[in-house]
């Protein structure tokens, strides 16, 4: 390192202003928006900042956050996964069916569900990479297949579309606290899912910014041909990313299964777009190669706060969708503006 130590310090380095450095970060816009939403609902709904209120919207935000972070990584890697939402339902149903219907050990069922989910994720990736089809189409196919299986198979086994009697399965009590439990902090009840979300955010941020895999994720999304030319294992990276969203789908599937002790065939359907909105609001580019895990988590926080905030404020909850749509458009515009700014600012 002697050669580098002797380098003259460059006086022009200071000319990259602090403002540019801050604005270059993808999550800046989402941070500002999250703050604004927090203040807004704190003013209009008095329940919003109570211990109970915070616990409720954090729980909701955490489940969307886990998914949004995984989807953000995949989007940075240049792909979409529309089967991510239905995966949360499918894994929950799987565990419900094999335990209540076939008497499989519940711990084993949880592990098998993870293996199946990861397998579907890997299959998504291999189909996308081998056929060259857009992942939007391939995972749309997976989405419908899973949704159909959820409805048809569960109906075949139970004659209805929801899982019953999960609480009576042996060892239910030993699994439940890991996914559906909560911690009391003062008079607030914080769901275990919040801890899972924090873990996922930290892990994703570490992978993205400090490992070789992270460098490869940015590269395969930003310029796949260049990545291949420099020796980046493109297929391996994409398989890992799709397995990531599938694995996150499993985690959220387990969380909703053990929080409510039931699962329905419709669980998670339609949520895949909310994950994408959260990621985009958090600064991910739809074209890939740019974004952050923390940003996506902030996007999910905004969604969680708004979802509960609308209820606490006593408004019709359908306004949530209007808000989501407007926020998506604004976020995309702001992202584009920031990107041009970041690219040009010196």
Partner 1 sequence: MIEQQTHELPPRGTTIIEARGVGKSYGSVLALSEVSTTINAGEVTCVLGDNGAGKSTFIKIMAGAHPHTDGVLLIDGEARNLSSPREALDLGIATVFQDLAVVPLMPVWRNFFLGSEPTKGFGPMRRLDVATMKAATRSELIAMGIDLRDVDQPIGTLSGGERQCVAIARAVHFGARVLILDEPTAALGVKQSGVVLKYIAKARDRGLGVVFITHNPHHAYPVGDRFMLLRRGRSMGEFPKDEVSMDDLTSMMAGGTELEALSQELQETLGADSGIVRDMQAELRA
Q: Which is nearer to partner 1, 13 or 322 (CB)?
A: 13
Size of the site for partner 1 (CB under 8 A): 33
Selected binder of partner 1 within 219, 274, 300, 311 (CB under 8 A) = 219
| Interaction pattern, residues 276-305, with partner 1; x per rule: CB under 8 A | -------------xx---------------
Note whether 179 and 255 are within 8 A (CB). Answer: yes
* DSSP 8-state code for residue 8: P
Rounded to a whole number of angstroms, the minimum distance from the CB of residue 125 to partner 1 is 20
CB atoms within 10 A of CB 91: 31
Q: At what angle are helices 51-76 and 212-222 packed, to 10 degrees? A: 70
Rounded to a whole number of angstroms, the minimum distance from the CB of residue 65 to partner 1 is 23
User: What is the rounded end-to-end Cα distance, in angstroms, of the chain?
Assistant: 28
* Helices (H), ranges, the chain: 2-5, 18-23, 28-44, 51-76, 84-96, 106-131, 135-158, 172-180, 192-210, 212-222, 224-229, 234-260, 271-281, 293-312, 319-344
Using CB under 8 A, which residues numbered 13 to 42 contact partner 1?
13, 15-16
Of 30, 142, 27, nearest in space to 86 by CA: 142
Rounded to a whole number of angstroms, the minimum distance from the CB of residue 218 to partner 1 is 5
- Taking CB under 8 A as the binding criterion, the range among 93-101, 133-141, 228-236, 240-248 that sits at the site for partner 1 is 228-236
Of 239, 204, 209, 220, nearest in space to 81 by CA: 239
- Taking CB under 8 A as the binding criterion, the range among 40-48, 49-57, 208-216, 260-268 that sits at the site for partner 1 is 208-216
Token pair in block for residue 299: 């996007």
| Interaction pattern, residues 326-345, with partner 1; x per rule: CB under 8 A | ----------------xxx-
Selected binder of partner 1 within 159, 231, 270, 314 (CB under 8 A) = 231
Contact between 225 and partner 1 by CB under 8 A: the answer reads yes
Rounded Cα distance between 94 and 316, Å, is: 34
| Interaction pattern, residues 87-116, with partner 1; x per rule: CB under 8 A | ------------------------------
Selected binder of partner 1 within 160, 184, 211, 317 (CB under 8 A) = 211
Residue 190 bridge partners (DSSP):
183
The residues binding partner 1 (CB under 8 A) are 1-4, 7, 10, 12-13, 15-16, 206, 210-212, 214-215, 218-219, 222-223, 225-227, 229-232, 289-290, 342-344, 346
């Amino acid at each position: 390192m002697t050669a580098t130590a002797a380098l003259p310090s460059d006086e022009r380095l200071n000319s990259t202003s602090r403002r540019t450095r801050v604005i270059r970060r993808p999550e800046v816009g989402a941070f500002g928006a999250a703050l604004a939403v927090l203040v807004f609902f704190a003013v209009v709904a008095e329940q919003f900042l109570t211990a109970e209120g915070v616990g409720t919207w954090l729980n909701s935000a955490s489940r969307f956050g886990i998914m949004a972070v995984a989807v953000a990584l995949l989007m940075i890697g240049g792909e979409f996964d529309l089967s991510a939402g239905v995966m949360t339902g499918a894994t929950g149903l799987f565990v419900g069916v094999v335990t209540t219907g076939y008497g499989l050990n519940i711990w084993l069922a949880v592990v098998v569900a993870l293996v199946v989910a990861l397998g579907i994720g890997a299959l998504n990736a291999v189909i996308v990479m081998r056929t060259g089809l857009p992942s939007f189409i391939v995972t749309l196919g997976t989405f419908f297949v899973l949704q159909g299986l959820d409805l048809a198979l569960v109906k075949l086994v139970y004659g209805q579309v929801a899982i019953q009697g999960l609480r009576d399965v042996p060892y239910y009590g030993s699994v439940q606290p890991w996914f559906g439990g909560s911690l009391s902090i003062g008079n607030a009840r914080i769901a275990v899912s919040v801890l899972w979300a924090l873990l996922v955010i930290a892990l994703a941020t570490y992978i993205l910014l400090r490992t070789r895999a992270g460098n490869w994720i940015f590269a395969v999304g930003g310029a796949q041909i260049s990545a291949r030319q420099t020796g980046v294992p493109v297929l391996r990276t994409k398989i890992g990313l799709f397995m990531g969203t599938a694995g996150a789908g499993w985690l959220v599937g387990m969380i909703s299964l053990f929080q409510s002790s039931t699962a329905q065939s419709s669980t998670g359907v339609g949520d895949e777009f909310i994950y994408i909105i959260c990621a985009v609001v958090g600064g991910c580019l739809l074209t890939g190669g740019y974004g952050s895990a923390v940003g996506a988590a902030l996007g999910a926080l905004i969604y969680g706060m708004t979802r509960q905030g609308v209820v606490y404020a006593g408004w019709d909850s359908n306004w949530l969708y209007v808000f989501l749509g407007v926020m998506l458009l604004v976020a995309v515009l702001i992202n584009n503006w920031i990107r041009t700014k970041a690219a040009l600012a010196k």
